[in-house]
Structure 1
Amino acid sequence: MADNSKSFSTGDFLPLSDADRSHLDSEKITAPSQTFLQDSWRRLRHNKAAMICLVILIILFILSFGSHFFQTHNPNATNPDLANLPPKIPGLDINGFNGTLMQSGERINAYAQAHAHAGTYYILGTDYLGRDLFSRILFGTRISLTIALVASFFDLAFGVVYGIISGWLGGWVDTLMQRIIEIILSIPNLVVMVLLIVVLKPGMSAIIIAIAITSWINMARLVRAQTLELKNQEFILAARTLGESSFKIAFKHLLPNLSSVIIINLMFTIPTAIFFEAFLSYIGIGVSAPQASLGTLISDGQKNFQFLPYQMWYPAIVLSIIMIAFNILGDGLRDAFDPKSNRK
């Protein structure tokens, strides 16, 4: 029988040159390793509408909370001699932004008619008391975004914790906690606000307490439902078998898997809270004078809408931009965090 064995020498094993190994790259089928958050951020970046809304919201945050450093006028300072002046931007000679108004079919310089000092201008005009509308809109936007932060805090601090505890413990504890939620849900938000006004005066304090009582309910119910589904999964059962505490399981295993649900629901809770504050201020039981809110600015502007429409249009446009931006960003986050969505 012939011996087919062959001896090998060191020279038979040589490293491949770059040219020889170039074909190996075409055979790779794996993508770069990414975490869930990195992959979600990649998909969110490809959503142009959501990214534009994110930039708009960042700009609004900077303008509203940084208005102390660049506001041209005190938002609460009154000057009846300069009341109801139209918008005027220095160097811009465009009707609607050059300080002119139509009166009796003739366009007049409202600033000259009011005997305003040279160099006086208001970017978005003044209201019926001569207060700077631009500064008041910035102040009102700050209140709306503060309400958004407050609603986010209570959603995360109470809603998430309440939902995890209810879903994780189950049994009679879950039943009792859900009955409490149903009792709170049975009371309309407006009734809660009116009852608070009986005890407190209208203002931010009453609105914040009303949000603290009711805003976290939807988050708690959604987190509870997801917790009930996750707590019977294999990785949770394995952690319990290894003797990990419930607290560690909640923060190490449950929260990462609930992060997408929490973020998405949070982005839809925020515009609801902003609209709630604007509505209360609009009907006169929210932020009280002389403080400005987008709701109070729209209410005041409506009274002069026929003759001075800009007093209502500008705060209404800012409120609409905030609401639309949060909703579109929420849609983008839902698509980015949904593992079943089409990957781009």
Structure 2
Amino acid sequence: MADAKLSPDLFKRVTVDSTEKEKITTPALTFTQDAMRRLRQNKVAIVSLWVIIIIAIVSVMTIFISPANPNKGSLAYTNLPPKIANWNIPGFNGYQDGVDKYAGLGKNVWFALGTDYLGRDLLSRIFVGTRVSLIIALVATLFDLTIGVTYGIISGWLGGRIDTVMQRVIEIVSSVPNLVVAILMLLVFKPGMTSIILAIGLTGWITMARLIRAQTLQLRDQEFILAAKTVGESGGKIALKHLVPNLSSIIIIQTMFTIPMAIFFEAFLSYIGIGLPAPTASLGTLLSDGQKALQTQPYQLIYPAIVIVVLMLAFNLLADGLRDAFDPKSQR
């Protein structure tokens, strides 16, 4: 087959305006704007973010608007199955083992997710439990941010013997199990939110401190840090103006992983009976109470379990999305 020859008439000269040669066709984006753009492209992370926002809003709104008093029970309403008005929805019609448990209680008596062994509305207690778990997780995360970030920056910035001593302190603190710390807090303080928050806060900052320290060791020898030292800026200003902005991605990502860990730890403590005292509801206490009636009233365990699973998945998926957005090199 002969080679096809191209005629010069097939080509057209293209002229380009000299003013257009250096023009940037795409808008310039900052690091944060580029990270948010990548985050918006992650549909799973965005859905998880909206799930967390909706759960948080509903939890706050139920402070003022609640289906029932979460701590008020009635022996006439004990262990009632879920029922939604007069709708004949399987699983939400008030029947259990073919028997209408709401017979004789009145037409206007119904509980969307049923009641517990004391006749308390399970839906209202789930709202309270979710709110309490989120508050504990958020307050405990503040310890992670304040102590962990500050400790890590100081350790990595100063280096030398101070860094060595500070790292030995971290090793000593991390060698003590979280459960032992929680029990010690219960001995010092009364069982409640304060002891749980302190138990999580006293040990939860270690991972953050190690990550921040490792990144600070890399940043302190960068050119922009050396330039700041040259012009005479103090260590505090360098940390606030240069280190913290460059550490923001690690701080955000680790924070999003810390929140579900705190929620799970609080639920674990309440589940084994050393968490929040009765009648305060949390996801852990609801799981503990539901487990006792699993064979006869499984809904008392299923619905709180669904809430904590959704919360854990949403926070972890959002954290994965933030990690991919702020650190594209971590993507496989």
List alignment gaps of at least 5 residues for structure 1. Answer: 1-19
Shift of 1:320: 0.5
Q: What residue in structure 2 maps to residue 37 of structure 1?
A: 32
**Alignment partner of 1:340: what SS?**
helix
Counterpart-to-counterpart distance in 2, 1:75 and 1:171: 55
After TM superposition, what 4+ stretches of structure 1 lie above 6 angstroms from structure 2?
20-27
* Structure-2 change in CA distance of 1:302 and 1:26 (3 Å): farther
Q: What residue in structure 2 maps to residue 333 of structure 1?
A: 322
1:163-178 to 2 correspondences below 5 Å: 163-178=152-167
* Structure-2 change in CA distance of 1:25 and 1:317 (3 Å): farther
Q: What residue in structure 1 maps to residue 64 of structure 2?
A: 69
**1:233 lines up with 2:233 in the alignment:** no
Counterpart-to-counterpart distance in 2, 1:61 and 1:310: 23
Of the candidates 95, 102, 111, which is equivalent to residue 111 of structure 1?
102
Counterpart-to-counterpart distance in 1, 2:251 and 2:53: 21
TM-score of the aligned structures, taking structure 2 as reference length? 0.91
Shift of 1:201: 2.4
**Aligned letter for 2:85?**
P
Shift of 1:200: 2.1
Identity %: 62
Shift of 1:118: 2.8
**Aligned letter for 1:79?**
S
Q: What RMSD, in angstroms, separates the aligned Cα atoms of the two structures?
A: 2.0
Shift of 1:35: 1.3
Structure 1 residues 236-292: Cα deviation after superposition (integer angstroms, max 9, x where no partner)? 011101111111110111111100011111111111111100000000000111111
TM-score of the aligned structures, taking structure 1 as reference length? 0.88
**Alignment partner of 1:31: what SS?**
coil
**Alignment partner of 2:96: what SS?**
strand
- Answer whether contact 2:141 2:201 (CA < 8 A) is retained: no
Q: What residue in structure 1 maps to residue 183 of structure 2?
A: 194
Shift of 1:151: 2.4
Range with greater deviation from structure 2 (171-180 or 224-233): 171-180
Q: What residue in structure 2 maps to residue 49 of structure 1?
A: 44
Shift of 1:131: 0.3
Counterpart-to-counterpart distance in 2, 1:37 and 1:243: 28
**1:127 lines up with 2:149 in the alignment:** no
Q: What residue in structure 1 maps to residue 91 of structure 2?
A: 96
Counterpart-to-counterpart distance in 1, 2:223 and 2:19: 38
Counterpart-to-counterpart distance in 2, 1:56 and 1:285: 29
Shift of 1:72: 1.1
Range with greater deviation from structure 2 (170-179 or 223-232): 170-179
**Aligned letter for 2:289?**
D
**1:281 lines up with 2:270 in the alignment:** yes
1:212-227 to 2 correspondences below 5 Å: 212-227=201-216
Query: Which is higher, the Rg of structure 1 or of structure 2?
Result: 1
Counterpart-to-counterpart distance in 2, 1:22 and 1:45: 36
